[in-house]
Amino acid sequence: MSKSNQIASVLPAAWSIPICGVALAAEAQEAGDVFRDCEVCPDMVVVPAGSFMMGSLESETAVHGDEKPQHRVTIGYTFAVGVYEVTFDEWHACVRRGGCDEYEPDAEGSDSGRFPMVGVSWEDAWRYADWLTIQTGEQYRLLSEAEWEYAARAGTVSPYPVPGPLGRYGAPRTLCEHAHLGEATARYAGCPDPLNRPAGNHPAVAGSYRPNGFGLYDMAGNVWEWVDDCYHDSYLGAPTDGGARDGRASDVEGCIFRVLRGSSWHNFPVSFRSAARFRRWAADRFDDTGFRVARTICLPGSCAQSP
């Protein structure tokens, strides 16, 4: 199946996407539209409803047990995703306005501007989303794990979220054009010399590489991203509607770990696969971990169909 056909399979009604009764910021209503809800809010892109196969097949290289069983997920609603990982500038705007518990992480080498915010816990990420909700009146949140993988794949069905001929160790050579890798990791992946050379051992400026098919940057590499779900070691019993599994809204007790996706600049390329998962305690703060936000635009039955 061609890439265009793969993407078309998750865009079954690109010109009749549900729209809400209240116009979005900048009149963003269709898949691919980019908007911002306030001056200091992150850029968001509209992602369409669709269906995909989540997880890994048994036959895939380096598959982990927690990526199985592969199962179909149908997301029956339109939602928006941060075009970039939340940046230091965006986090500082929250702190300056009295939000985010006035937490200022110490992240030497990437401590300002358009670098992705790092040194934040799952709890910190939710504080930022809550602050956006208060500022805008819109419901901001973390992505569910299923939403994250759907958005990362953007219609692709191969192990990696980018197409192209395979290079060293099974990763496509085009990964170097889409993902920020540290110097040693880039050499391991066989990236050309001019590419993927960070000025130090830290993330790259958000959006430094090519976006995926949904217009999202850094869905592979750069920094790990928190998602809402509680970690389980398999997909048995996982939701199939795009919802989070034991997410914050469920107020689950005894959740030891939360899920991270997307890998970081100093991990090996195998962890950049669309189905790759990682776990950490919700209160953990690491210099390779950030997040991006989401907000639902239309839930099933709550929006009118555009003509």
Per-residue 3-state assignment (H helix, E strand, C coil) for 127-149: HHHHHHHHHHCCCEEECCHHHHH
- Say what the pLDDT of residue 3 is: 33
Residues 6+ apart with CB under 8 A from 21: 303, 304
Higher pLDDT, 21 or 74: 74
- Which among 133, 147, 144 is positioned nearest to 37, based on CA atoms? 133
> pLDDT tens digits, residue range 208-255?
999 999 999 999 999 999 999 999 999 999 999 999 999 998 877 889
- Say what the pLDDT of residue 282 is: 95
Domain harbouring 263, CATH code: 3.90.1580.10
What value does the mean pLDDT take over residues 273-286?
96
Q: Tell me the pairing of strands 224-230 and 289-290.
A: parallel
- Say what the pLDDT of residue 113 is: 87
- Say what the pLDDT of residue 194 is: 56
What value does the mean pLDDT take over residues 129-148?
97
**Residue 208 forms part of a structural domain:** yes
**Residue 304 forms part of a structural domain:** no
Q: Tell whether the model's pLDDT for residue 274 goes beyond 80.
A: yes
- Say what the pLDDT of residue 278 is: 97
The backbone torsions φ and ψ at residue 78, rounded to the nearest 5 degrees and listed phi first, read -85, 140
Alpha helices in the chain (DSSP H): 3-8, 88-96, 122-136, 145-153, 175-178, 183-189
* CA–CA gap between residue 72 and residue 52 (Å, rounded): 6
**Residue 27 forms part of a structural domain:** yes
> pLDDT tens digits, residue range 7-20?
333 433 222 223 33
* CA–CA gap between residue 218 and residue 214 (Å, rounded): 12
- The alpha carbon dihedral of 280, 283, 287, 288 has a sign of positive
**Residue 42 forms part of a structural domain:** yes
Residues listed for the chain: 307
Per-residue 3-state assignment (H helix, E strand, C coil) for 88-123: HHHHHHHHHCCCHHHCCCCCCCCCCCCCECCCCCHH
β-bridge partners, 63: none
**Residue 46 forms part of a structural domain:** yes
- Say what the pLDDT of residue 10 is: 40
Domains held by the chain: number: 1
Confidence of residue 46 (pLDDT cuts 50, 70, 90): very high
Judge contact between 92 and 120, C-beta under 8 A.
no
**Residue 183 forms part of a structural domain:** yes
For the ranges 75-84, 108-117, 256-265, the lowest mean pLDDT is seen at: 108-117
Q: Which residue has the tokens 């300002």?
A: 112
- Say what the pLDDT of residue 14 is: 26
pTM of the model: 0.87
Range of the domain at 291: 3-299
* CA–CA gap between residue 47 and residue 34 (Å, rounded): 10
Higher pLDDT, 120 or 187: 120
For the ranges 39-48, 196-205, 252-261, the lowest mean pLDDT is seen at: 196-205
The backbone torsions φ and ψ at residue 114, rounded to the nearest 5 degrees and listed phi first, read -90, 10
**Residue 307 forms part of a structural domain:** no
- Say what the pLDDT of residue 99 is: 95
Confidence of residue 302 (pLDDT cuts 50, 70, 90): low
Residues 6+ apart with CB under 8 A from 171: 160, 189, 269, 270, 272
Count CB atoms within 10 A of the CB of residue 129: 20
Q: Tell whether the model's pLDDT for residue 83 goes beyond 70.
A: yes
**Residue 106 forms part of a structural domain:** yes
Report percent pLDDT > 70 for the chain: 81
Judge contact between 107 and 271, C-beta under 8 A.
no
The helix or strand, by DSSP H or E, that contains position 152, with its residue range, turns out to be helix 145-153
Residue type at 137 in one-letter notation: G
- Say what the pLDDT of residue 16 is: 26
- Say what the pLDDT of residue 79 is: 96
